Structure formats: structure tokens, C-alpha cells
């Protein structure tokens, strides 16, 4: 079987233009998953792999696409846009994947998207980005399963900011942080709060002490940590040690399960943030319960994280579209995805027509004290329902 | 920028001093090993990381911060000495790039080994109970733990200085650095001296890693950025100079911290600007002896 596939692909290379689509219809359905396994976002990335594998197994156990199984190809993009682009290119050219899901950074997903849209390979990105929605970066093959900074900051900002409050930002100086700052600045203006300053730090910084006295001197009511992963954990920890927490409220756009578990209750005590998913919504959401149970069975009773479950949803909805289309043919699957109404893990979702942004609920959560090892670490403060109103209008994104 | 008060500048200055203390601790081991052995130890950052992980592992067995504080440098020093004895010693007398390449490769092996043993994703480390919270230092609040790190750094440096300048063994070390051949003719086992110096340098790196863990957590890659800082400080201060490492570490820390206040975009670059300037004006570094590299 394997040799036949090799031979077939060898033949395909020889006959590239005519043979490629036909060849793609016979072997397993291949999905590439480039994620930053090494580096400051490693914990989140590893849970994305676990979840994506879960979705693949579920599809295969249900018989696949009339017997055709799905296969996951995991690659480490090391949180580096150039590396991510190379890995994506390899996945397409060498491994002949049908689809790509992944990349956990606003910068790497744009790099991957650049590769996939040129080569007309459907790509579902699972990390926050505003740029990927905009007309300049959009393509028919680009889908965005993740929340985007605009909808996240709208939900979190409206919850945390009040008229007259002084808001300061500590921002990771790259696309993610900058887009979050832009989003929060907009909300602040809308609710009548004042932005008193922004301190930027390089991605992956380990000592935030030089930034903190300046931040304190701004006398903010709210400090927003526009950074992610290990950066988020270390900066919040060090800001707490500098005595900043007593006087100000700590807010972060995306409060991840993995960061809270890694850094512990004391570091994150009282921090408010947004989230795409928290396992406890299973009490009201049947699809969440289904995913959690599946995950618990597979991984010793643990629960899926927010960024992890997003990978599950992306792979599962993609394979759902494949089933709906009845084929892995690129154009037909893209049409099926665009028309898909799915509820894979958190309630109803669907892609908006103009930018393929997944319309979905946004949770506002707060870290709470919990015994070591307990998964019950957040309280859900608010759930903003799925709606196109939460997004920037198609016209604002540059679509005509 | 508005709102820059004298009090803020003072606090920022103090933050820079604290940052500098950490930098000094990072660089001093590297500088020591180069000065005495002319080995450019590219695995210095990896020894730093090993110190942090050794502390983490040891703490699971003996959950006592103070005991770990003493044990970790000893464990890492023992490991460093084993490395010197088995890997680096055969390369003495072969030219400076042999041990450089060896330690460069060794660093990769060490990082990969730690990834296999402890996982890729990094682990959190709690600040010891006694040192949590902050203290009032007249110009503002400052974390107690960072004050403690400054204290330890001062003690370590004083100890090193006394050891090298005031003991008879230190005299041999200094003589060995000047002219190993003469020292050997005088009947002194230079190999043993170098072994101890290498252990000392790596032990201090391990201690720095252990102390850094509660501030930033631990991860297999944590030594990477540290190596850069250590090299910059060593080059600015002068390869092999203890005083140079101290002055340069504090200088780099203070400049970086003040840059955040006045030219925030340039904060991270500031240390390289200092290095470039020093190299232009005084290639051997502020306190370095010329010709060590020859």
C-alpha cells in the first residue's frame, strides 16, 4: 500500500498538472499541523496537538470518508514566521497535504497563510489575528476558527473598563500585542476610559523589571497585559512582585488555561481575561460535554484547554466539511466549509461570508483560587453570544 | 514622555542596579573561565539552565530553599568538573577554537537532554515564602526577592575576590593564568587548578540559574538569551577580569533600565551599542588585558 502510494506520488510529480487532483483523491486525507512546540508557547501548542489527534481519531473511528482515513502531520514551527512558512511549504510540496490547520501566533499564521493562499491549499488558522480577516490578507482558502483581537477586546474591554478609568498597556511588540492594544484603545474610547500609556517589550522577554516602574508611574486603574504564553505568566508574576497588583486591576485579552495552570493560582489571582473556551461550560453546552468526556477518556481525566480545543474544532469542522462535500477536492471543501453550520465544542458557529471569520461566543473569565491539580480554576463572568455584530464590518475590513 | 519624576528616575536606576547584579552573576563565571583557561565556554548558558533544573529537581527531594541554594552550585560545579576532565582537558594546547566548538555542541546536547528529562514546555517555580512581597526602599516598592539576589551576588563576588586575591591557592590560579609553564616547572599540578577553576565558573552559572528560576520560571531554552548577555558583559568588561565583569554588568543593567524610560524602543539594543562603542575605543574591554586571545 505504502509503496503504491509512493509510486503514485512519483507518477504525480511527473504528471503534475493533470494527475495531482486525481492522486489526492485516493490516499489518506492529510492534514498538516504546524505549531510552536518549542519556545514560550509550547504548552499551548502541545495541547493543540492532543486535541487535533482526538478529532482525527474520532473521524477515523466513524469510518472516515467512505473508508478513507484522515492523517495528521505535526510540525514544529518554533514560533518563527520564516520557519512556519518553510514547514508549510514542505507540508504542501513534499508531504502533499490536502489541508493545513495551525500556527499559534499572529505572526506565524500570516506567514503560513501567505504560502497556503498562493498554492490554493485550504488553511484554518487557530490563533488570534485581526490582519488575517482584512481584505489584503484574505483569500478564498483562508478560514479563521480562532477569536480575533477585535471581538476579544470588545468583550473583555466592555466588561472591565468603566468611564473615567485610567488604562495602561504592557504590550508584546509584534502583531498580536499591537492588535490587542488597538482593539482595547477603541473600546476605551467607546466607554469613555482614558489610555494613559503603553510600554512595549520584545517577544520572549524574561525580565520585566525595567518596564515596571514606568508602568507604575502612570498610576493606572487597569493594567492590560497584551502578551501571551510564558511572556504573560512571567510579566504578571513580576508585576505582582513589584506591588502593582494592590493598586490596579490586572486584565489580559486572552487568559489561557495552560498559563494559569503553569503559573499557579497566586500569580493569576483575580486576573480577568477573555477566552474562546472553558471546560466548565459543559454544564449548559452539550457539545462541550461531549468533547470533555472524549478528552478525559483519552488523556487520564484531564480537560482540554482553550487553544487546544480550538484545534479540535478546526480539524473536526474541516473533516465535517469534507464529509458534507463527499470529497477532499479543494474547491468543493472550501464551498462546504463556507456554508457549514457547526457545533463542535462550544455552541453554534459558522464562517462569515466576506472574511471567513468564525462567528462564535466570547467568554470573559476570572482566575480563582483552587487546590493544586484541580481543573476548576476560572469563574465565567460573562458570555458574549455569537454574532456578526461583534465583528468589524466587511466594509471596514476593505471588502467591497 | 511626560510624567518622568526624579522619584521615577531613582527607582528606575535602582531597578537597573538590580538587573545589573543578575547580569554580573551571569558573566562572572564565563569571564573567570576565559581569563584562567582561555576557554570560551559556549555552554555557559546551558550550565545556567542546568542550575535552574537541578534546583527544581532537588527541591522535590529536599523541599528547603536554603539547602538547595547551597547544594545546587555544588552539584553544577561537580558536573562542570566532570565535563572539564573528560571533554575539555584533551583539547588544551590546541588553539582557542577547539574548546569553543566543543562547548557549542555540548550546549545543544544539554538543552536536548533536559527537554527529554523534563519536557519542552517549561515549569513554574515559586518564590520562597520568606522572600515574597516587596519592601519600601524610600523611592518606591521593590520585590524582596530581588533585594535578596543582589545580596547573594555581593557575597559571591566578595568570596571570589578573597579566594583569588587573598589565598595561596588564588595566587597559584593567577600565576597559572599568566604562565602555566613556569607554574608547572615549580612543581604545581596546573591541571588540578584548571579543573577547580572550571568547576567554580560553572558553579556560579548554576547558582545564577537557580536564583533566576523564581523570577522567570524555568525552561530548556532559558540559557540562550543569558549567553548573549553574559558575552556582552564579558566583552565590555574585558575577558578574564573580575572587576570588569562587575562594572560592565552594572553598566549594562543601568543603561538598559534608563533606556526604557527615555528611548524605550532602544532598550534591548542598548547593551549592543555599549559593546560596539567599547570595542571601537578599547578592543580588550574596559579592564581587559590585551593579547589574551593570541
- pLDDT digit string, tens, across residues B152-187: 999 999 999 999 889 988 888 888 777 878 888 888
Q: How confident is the model at residue B284 (pLDDT cuts 50, 70, 90)?
A: confident
B48 touches chain A (CB under 8 A): no
For residues A253 and A180, give the distance between their C-alpha atoms in angstroms, rounded to a whole number: 7
Nearest CA to B32 out of B210, B212, B170, B182 is that of B170
Q: Is residue B215 part of a domain?
A: yes
Q: Does the pLDDT at position A51 exceed 90?
A: yes
Q: Is residue B137 part of a domain?
A: no
Q: What cell does B150 get?
A: 543582589
Domain count, chain B: 1
B268 touches chain A (CB under 8 A): yes
Q: Does the pLDDT at position B4 exceed 80?
A: no
Q: How many Cα atoms occupy the beta-carbon half-sphere of B64 within 13 Å?
A: 5
Q: Does the pLDDT at position A1 exceed 70?
A: no
Domain match, A103 and A198 both: no
Say yes or no for a CB contact (<8 Å) between B8 and A37: no
- Closest partner residue to A37 (CB to CB) among B1, B22, B120 is B120
**Residue with the larger pLDDT of the pair B242 and A171:** A171
- Closest partner residue to A217 (CB to CB) among B8, B19, B122 is B8
Domain count, chain A: 2
Say yes or no for a CB contact (<8 Å) between A210 and B219: no
Domain match, A235 and A374 both: yes
- The residues in B 238-267 lying below 8 A from A, measured between CB atoms, are 256-257, 259-261, 264-265, 267
For residues A86 and A65, give the distance between their C-alpha atoms in angstroms, rounded to a whole number: 30
Please name the residue that has the C-alpha cell 453546552: A285
pLDDT of residue B264: 80
Q: Mention every residue, 6+ apart, whose C-beta is less than 8 A from residue A329.
A: A21, A24, A25
Nearest CA in chain B to A264: B124
Q: Is residue B255 part of a domain?
A: yes
Q: Is A104 helix (H, G, I), strand (E, B) or coil?
A: coil
Q: Is residue A399 part of a domain?
A: no
Segments forming the whole domain that contains residue A164: 150-275+363-390
Domain match, A311 and A207 both: no
CATH number at residue A350: 3.40.50.2300
Q: Is B191 helix (H, G, I), strand (E, B) or coil?
A: helix
Domain match, A337 and A378 both: no
Q: Is residue A396 part of a domain?
A: no
For residue A341, the distance in angstroms to the closest alpha carbon of chain B comes to 35
Q: Is residue B134 part of a domain?
A: no
Say yes or no for a CB contact (<8 Å) between B260 and A210: yes
pLDDT of residue A8: 52
Beta bridge partners of A68: A65
For residues A306 and A44, give the distance between their C-alpha atoms in angstroms, rounded to a whole number: 9
Domain match, A111 and A178 both: no
B16 touches chain A (CB under 8 A): yes
Segments forming the whole domain that contains residue B74: 6-120+159-281
Q: Does the pLDDT at position A352 exceed 80?
A: yes
| pLDDT above 90 as % of chain B | 49
User: Mean pLDDT: which of A359-363, B6-10, B117-121 is highest?
Assistant: A359-363
- The residues in B 83-142 lying below 8 A from A, measured between CB atoms, are 115, 120-124, 126-127, 132-134, 140-142
Domain match, A155 and A12 both: no
Computed over every residue of chain A, the mean pLDDT equals 91
Q: Is residue A400 part of a domain?
A: no
Q: Does the pLDDT at position A23 exceed 50?
A: no
B135 vs A contacts (CB less than 8 Å)? none
Q: Does the pLDDT at position B29 exceed 80?
A: yes
Q: Does the pLDDT at position B2 exceed 90?
A: no
Domain match, A33 and A74 both: yes
Nearest CA to A105 out of A137, A127, A83, A88 is that of A127
pLDDT of residue A18: 44
**Residue with the larger pLDDT of the pair A58 and A206:** A58
B270 touches chain A (CB under 8 A): no
- Closest partner residue to B124 (CB to CB) among A40, A211, A264 is A264
Q: What cell does B51 get?
A: 542550575
Domain match, A183 and A300 both: no
pLDDT of residue A140: 95
B5 touches chain A (CB under 8 A): yes
Say yes or no for a CB contact (<8 Å) between A199 and B123: no
A218 vs B contacts (CB less than 8 Å)? 3
- With beta carbons less than 8 A apart as the criterion, state whether B153 and B22 touch: yes
Domain match, A192 and A220 both: yes
A263 vs B contacts (CB less than 8 Å)? 124, 217
Computed over every residue of chain B, the mean pLDDT equals 89
B124 vs A contacts (CB less than 8 Å)? 233, 262-264, 267
Query: Most distant CA pair in chain B: distance in Å?
Result: 66
Domain match, A183 and A303 both: no
Q: Is residue B207 part of a domain?
A: yes
| pLDDT above 70 as % of chain A | 94
Domain match, A296 and A353 both: yes
B126 vs A contacts (CB less than 8 Å)? 264, 266
List Cβ<8 Å contacts ≥24 apart for A322-330: A322/A29, A322/A65, A323/A65, A326/A65, A327/A25, A327/A65, A328/A24, A328/A25, A328/A29, A328/A65, A328/A68, A328/A98, A329/A21, A329/A24, A329/A25, A330/A21, A330/A98, A330/A120, A330/A121, A330/A122, A330/A141
pLDDT digit string, tens, across residues A225-266: 999 988 999 999 999 988 888 889 999 999 999 899 888 888
Q: Is residue A227 part of a domain?
A: yes
For residue B179, the distance in angstroms to the closest alpha carbon of chain A comes to 40
Q: Is residue B152 part of a domain?
A: no
Q: Tell me how crowded residue A61 is: count the other CB atoms within 10 A of its CB.
A: 9
Q: Is residue A217 part of a domain?
A: yes
Q: Is residue B237 part of a domain?
A: yes
Average pLDDT over residues A350-374: 92
Q: Is residue B125 part of a domain?
A: no
A257 vs B contacts (CB less than 8 Å)? none
What torsion, rounded to 10 degrees, do the Cα atoms A59, A64, A65, A68 define? 130
For residues A277 and A258, give the distance between their C-alpha atoms in angstroms, rounded to a whole number: 12
B140 vs A contacts (CB less than 8 Å)? 213, 216
Nearest CA in chain A to B124: A263
Domain match, A140 and A179 both: no
Q: Does the pLDDT at position A15 exceed 50?
A: no
Amino acid at each position: 500500500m505504502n509503496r503504491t502510494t509512493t509510486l503514485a506520488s512519483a507518477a504525480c510529480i511527473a504528471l503534475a498538472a493533470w494527475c495531482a487532483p486525481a492522486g489526492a483523491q485516493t490516499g489518506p486525507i492529510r492534514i498538516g499541523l504546524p505549531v510552536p512546540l518549542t519556545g514560550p508557547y509550547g504548552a499551548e501548542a502541545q495541547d493543540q496537538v492532543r486535541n487535533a489527534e482526538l478529532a482525527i481519531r474520532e473521524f477515523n473511528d466513524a469510518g472516515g470518508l467512505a473508508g478513507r482515513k484522515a492523517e495528521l502531520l505535526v510540525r514544529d514551527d518554533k514560533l518563527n514566521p520564516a520557519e512556519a512558512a518553510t514547514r508549510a511549504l514542505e507540508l504542501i510540496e513534499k508531504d502533499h497535504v490536502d489541508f493545513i490547520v495551525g500556527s499559534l501566533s499572529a505572526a506565524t499564521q500570516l506567514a503560513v497563510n501567505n504560502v497556503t493562499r498562493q498554492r490554493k491549499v485550504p488553511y484554518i488558522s487557530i490563533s488570534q489575528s485581526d490582519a488575517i480577516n482584512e481584505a489584503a490578507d484574505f483569500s478564498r482558502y483562508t478560514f479563521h476558527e480562532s477569536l480575533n483581537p477585535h471581538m476579544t477586546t470588545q468583550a473583555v474591554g466592555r466588561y472591565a473598563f468603566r468611564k473615567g478609568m485610567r488604562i495602561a498597556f504592557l504590550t508584546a511588540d509584534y502583531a498580536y500585542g499591537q492588535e490587542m492594544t488597538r482593539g482595547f484603545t477603541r473600546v476605551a474610547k467607546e466607554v469613555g476610559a482614558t489610555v494613559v500609556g503603553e510600554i512595549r517589550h520584545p517577544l520572549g522577554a524574561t525580565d520585566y523589571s525595567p518596564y515596571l516602574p514606568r508602568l507604575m508611574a502612570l498610576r493606572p486603574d487597569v493594567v492590560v497585559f497584551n502578551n501571551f504564553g510564558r511572556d504573560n505568566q512571567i510579566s504578571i508574576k513580576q508585576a505582582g512582585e513589584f506591588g502593582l497588583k494592590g493598586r490596579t486591576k490586572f486584565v489580559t485579552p486572552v487568559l489561557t488555561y495552560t498559563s494559569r495552570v503553569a503559573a499557579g493560582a497566586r500569580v493569576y489571582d483575580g486576573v480577568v481575561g477573555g477566552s474562546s473556551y472553558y471546560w466548565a461550560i459543559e454544564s449548559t453546552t452539550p457539545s462541550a460535554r461531549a468533547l470533555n468526556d472524549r478528552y478525559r477518556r483519552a488523556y487520564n481525566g484531564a480537560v482540554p484547554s482553550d487553544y487546544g480545543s480550538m484545534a479540535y474544532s478546526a480539524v473536526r469542522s474541516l473533516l465535517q466539511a469534507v464529509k458534507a462535500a463527499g470529497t477532499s477536492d479543494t474547491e468543493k471543501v472550501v464551498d462546504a466549509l463556507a456554508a457549514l453550520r457547526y457545533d463542535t465544542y462550544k455552541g453554534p458557529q459558522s464562517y462569515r461570508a466576506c472574511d471567513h471569520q468564525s462567528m462564535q461566543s466570547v467568554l470573559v473569565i476570572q482566575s480563582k483560587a483552587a487546590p493544586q491539580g484541580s481543573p476548576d480554576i476560572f469563574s465565567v463572568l460573562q458570555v458574549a453570544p455569537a454574532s456578526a455584530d461583534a465583528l468589524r464590518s466587511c466594509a471596514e475590513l476593505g471588502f467591497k | 514622555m511626560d510624567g518622568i519624576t526624579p522619584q521615577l528616575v531613582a527607582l528606575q536606576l535602582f531597578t537597573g542596579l538590580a538587573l545589573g547584579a543578575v547580569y554580573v552573576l551571569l558573566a562572572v563565571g564565563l569571564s573567570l573561565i576565559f581569563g584562567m583557561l582561555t576557554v570560551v565556554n559556549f555552554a555557559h548558558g546551558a550550565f545556567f539552565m542546568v542550575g535552574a533544573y537541578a534546583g527544581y529537581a532537588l527541591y522535590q527531594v529536599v523541599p528547603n530553599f536554603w539547602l538547595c541554594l547551597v547544594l545546587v552550585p555544588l552539584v553544577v560545579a561537580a558536573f562542570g568538573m566532570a565535563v572539564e576532565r573528560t571533554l575539555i582537558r584533551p583539547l588544551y594546547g590546541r588553539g582557542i577554537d577547539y574548546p569553543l566548538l566543543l562547548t557549542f555542541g555540548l550546549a545543544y546536547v544539554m538543552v536536548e537532554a533536559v527537554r527529554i528529562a523534563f519536557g519542552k514546555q517549561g515549569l513554574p517555580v515559586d518564590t520562597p515564602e520568606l522572600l515574597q512581597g516587596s519592601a519600601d526602599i524610600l523611592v518606591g516598592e521593590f520585590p524582596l526577592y530581588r533585594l535578596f539576589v543582589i545580596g547573594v551576588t555581593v557575597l559571591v563576588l566578595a568570596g571570589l575576590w578573597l579566594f583569588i586575591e587573598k589565598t595561596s591557592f588564588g595566587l597559584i590560579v593567577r600565576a597559572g593564568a599568566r604562565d602555566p609553564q613556569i607554574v608547572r616547572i615549580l612543581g604545581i599540578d596546573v591541571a588540578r587548578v584548571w579543573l577547580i577553576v572550571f568547576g567554580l565558573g560553572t558553579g556560579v552559572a548554576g547558582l545564577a540559574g537557580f536564583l533566576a528560576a523564581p523570577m522567570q520560571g524555568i525552561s530548556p531554552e532559558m540559557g540562550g538569551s543569558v549567553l548573549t548577555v553574559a558575552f556582552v558583559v564579558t566583552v565590555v568588561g574585558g575577558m578574564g577580569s573580575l572587576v570588569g565583569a562587575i562594572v560592565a554588568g552594572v553598566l549594562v543593567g543601568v543603561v538598559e533600565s534608563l533606556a526604557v524610560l527615555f528611548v524605550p524602543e532602544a532598550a534591548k539594543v542598548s547593551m549592543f551599542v555599549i559593546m560596539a562603542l567599547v570595542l571601537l575605543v578599547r578592543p580588550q574591554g574596559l579592564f581587559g588585558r590585551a593579547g589574551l586571545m593570541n
